[in-house]
Amino acid sequence: MVKYLQEHPEVTDVLFTGGDPLVMSAKKLQEYIDPLLNADLPNLQSIRIGTKALGYWPYRFINDKDSDDLLRLFEKVVNSGIQLAFMAHFNHSNELKTEAVQIAIKRILNTGSVIRTQSPIMNHINNSANEWAEMWRLQVKLGCIPYYMFVARDTGAQGYFAVTLENAWKIYRNAYKQVSGLARTVRGPSMSANPGKVQILGVSQVGNKKIFALNFLQARNPNWVGKPFFAKYNPDAIWLNELEPIEGKEQFFFESKLVLS
């Protein structure tokens, strides 16, 4: 990994994800992080850790046997001049209301790390604009930065948790308008699909026909980012592959250019 980063100075971030990297001990995690810190990589600006640990087991940062070691590792990253971005998964505001999670958040923030929050939108759990607004407000109050609302991936029990793209957009919009600017750092609803992260900008109308407006937040080709595109309106669609290009287009602009290794 170090060799790759040395050969690719355009890479600025390293993400530890999974599964969940914080099922590892602090000692094991340090074995992955120390080589990055010791390699003197001027292009490396941020290390991210994507985890559900804060919502699932906040004691990981309070009184587990290596809690203090883990926090010292976070401090070590920050003191090296590299940003430690803690990507926390919270699916409901109730996960933010315990004393344990609030203590854990403070302990992480005291290391100099930043906590950004994200969650899929899921039927039966958080398919409510008021719930999302409350969750974002609580996160800001606790010092976290709302980051992403995701559309649940098209895997596993997606049918049970699925929210249509139109409803996801409506929930996002109605939650977004309830919160202050400090919570409006959040982006979504976003699908982490094959060509990239596709945001649903909304449902619009051209002539007498409804359409979906979409946008790439991230893409396999950086030139696609920020380029709006359109799809036929489908009120039942829950994923990108259920959308079709608008009339007059045989395919979306990126499909002919999508080359997979």
Q: What digits encode the pLDDT tens for the residues 71-86?
A: 999 999 999 999 999 9
Q: What is the pLDDT of residues 131-179, one digit of tens each?
A: 999 999 999 999 999 999 999 887 777 788 999 999 999 999 999 999 9
**What average pLDDT score do residues 34-53 get?**
95
Under the banding of pLDDT at 50, 70 and 90, the label for residue 259 is low
> What whole-number percentage of the chain has pLDDT above 70?
98
DSSP string, 154-213: SSTTHHHH---HHHHHHHHHHHHTTS-GGGTT-EEEEEEETTEEEEEEEEEEETTEEEEE
**What average pLDDT score do residues 24-41 get?**
95
3.40.228.10, 3.40.50.200, 3.20.20.70, 2.60.120.260: which CATH number matches 1-112?
3.20.20.70
Strand order in the sheet with 229-232: 13-16, 46-51, 83-89, 114-121, 145-151, 187-193, 196-206, 209-219, 229-232
Q: What is the pLDDT of residue 261?
A: 39
Q: What is the pLDDT of residues 194-223, one digit of tens each?
A: 899 999 999 998 888 899 999 999 999 999
The whole-chain average pLDDT of the chain stands at: 94
Ordered by start, the domain boundaries in the chain are 1-112, 151-261
Which of 173, 48, 152 minimizes the C-alpha distance to 91? 152
